[in-house]
A = this chain, B = another copy of it.
Amino acid sequence: MSSLACISEIARYEGQTVKLHGWLDNSTPRGKLLFVQLRDGTGRMQCVLRQGQVDDAQFEAVKRAGQESSLVITGSVKADPRSKVGFELVVSEVHVLQDAHEYPITPKEHGPAFLFDHRHLWLRSQRQFAILRIRHLCAKAIRDYFDSRGFVLLDSPIFTPNACEGTTTLFETEYFGQKAYLSQSGQLYQEAGAFAFGKTYCFGPTFRAEKSATRRHLTEFWMVEPEVAFAELPDIMELAEDFLCTVVAQVLASGRQYLEILERDLSALERVQKPFPRITYDEACRMLADLGVPVEPEDDFGAPHETALTKQFDRPIMVTHFPTAIKAFYMKEDPTNPLRALGVDVLAPEGYGEIIGGGQREDREDVLVRKIHEHKLPPEAFDWFLDLRKYGSAPHGGFGLGLERLVTWVCGIHHIRETIPFPRTIDRLTP
């Protein structure tokens, strides 16, 4: 009687006979031996078949089986110092469940279009396996952080009735005779949540119909958005800093094996420690001018500015007090200088740029009414949002972090599209 095992837990079966379910990654005959690399979704290990010790028909069937054939293999677990997992399987029985041939993704190089066309299969490759494991660990670390600190998960709706900030980057759908828009951010709903629960967060898919085909943009991505009642800008900055340090530390502790597959420089992640440098927008502009990458007066940073700036530091930095004019209507003005907003962006090091944007919200009804007017927004869309300022208003704030930008940086990879199982971009809606 053999136990059903998986490769990631193979060590606990040393000396025992186990059954493995998996797929043939490759096989190499050498005389009477056949070396099969098996992957089972938890890891990869070598299985050794010796002619005479395995049924002849089974031996031949495996020898003929192509890449990605599905197998059920029984054998004994033997320590092997040359193996990455420390063990190999000495096979006594093997069944080819389905004999696959002409698997499209071979060890040779493929272009990105081909690979993304075959995303449903490409997920099986070692690098994608590692990236998506890190994605899971990041998502889990994010939820663990908020769940263990008294935040209530409050899912914001995806369908929203009004095109609050213009329709150009919104996806629209017919909703039983009305127009509905897919949410770009759950923040406004979290503000209602924070006044009900004190501290809330949402973490779900978010949609932007941006016509940007850059390596940092997806049309569909996951965003976590915490919101805290009675919090001011310094509280939100401390929260963002503590959050990011905790999440990166947890992923480093639990995902080192996957980061190693990706050949990530772990020391860059180990330096994600408090305190993060804090600089104002105006200070950052002076630095960028000195670095030869000047910012247009009162303008937002572009990718070149973020890259130049973050390369000056060994860890994430927090840039605060951006011009009010380039920030959203709900951001609170600095009372000492209304041209500057009580907002913060956290920029990741190594040139990765913005991963968190947040700040303190305008909590005064009259000022918010004026801002809605100044931004030429439809006031009737904000009746419910203004109610939050009528009934028990208080200082509050929060931030948003895009999961895929975090994963891109943690993995140390170039393009965001590999960090989500089935990426959606301006030119890709399949598979």
A-side interface residues toward B, CB under 8 Å?
Answer: 6, 8, 21, 23-24, 40-42, 68-70, 72, 97-98, 100, 103-104, 118-121, 123-124, 128-129, 132-133, 135-136, 139-140, 143, 147, 150, 152-161, 171-176, 178, 180, 182, 189, 192-199, 204-205, 207, 209, 211, 219-220, 222, 229-230, 384-385, 387-394, 420-422, 424, 426-427, 429-431
Contact = CB atoms under 8 A, between A and B. Distances in A.
20 contacts: A21-B230, A23-B392, A41-B199, A42-B150, A42-B197, A68-B391, A68-B392, A70-B394, A72-B230, A97-B394, A98-B394, A100-B391, A121-B391, A140-B143, A155-B421, A157-B220, A158-B207, A158-B220, A180-B429, A193-B421
Give the most central of A72, A219, A391: most B CB within 10 Å.
Answer: A391
B421 A157 contact: yes
A390 B100 contact: yes
Interface of A is mostly: mixed
Contact of A155 (B24, B97, B222): B222
Contacts of A158: 158, 205, 207, 220
A192 B123 contact: yes
A98 B172 CA distance: 37
B129 A196 contact: yes
Nearest to A189: B422
Contacts of A180: 171, 429
Contact of A6 (B140, B150, B222): B150
Given A70-B392, A70-B394, A171-B175, A197 B155 contact: no
Contacts of A427: 176
A173 B176 contact: no
A193 to B, nearest CB: 7
A154 B180 CA distance: 27
A153 B140 contact: yes
A133 B222 CA distance: 22
Given A23-B392, A68-B392, A123-B193, 5 more contacts: A6-B150, A21-B229, A23-B195, A42-B197, A171-B173
A19 B72 CA distance: 63
Closest 3 CB pairs of A and B: A41-B198, A384-B431, A123-B196
Nearest to A4: B230
Contacts of A426: 176
A371 to B, nearest CB: 18
B156 A421 contact: yes
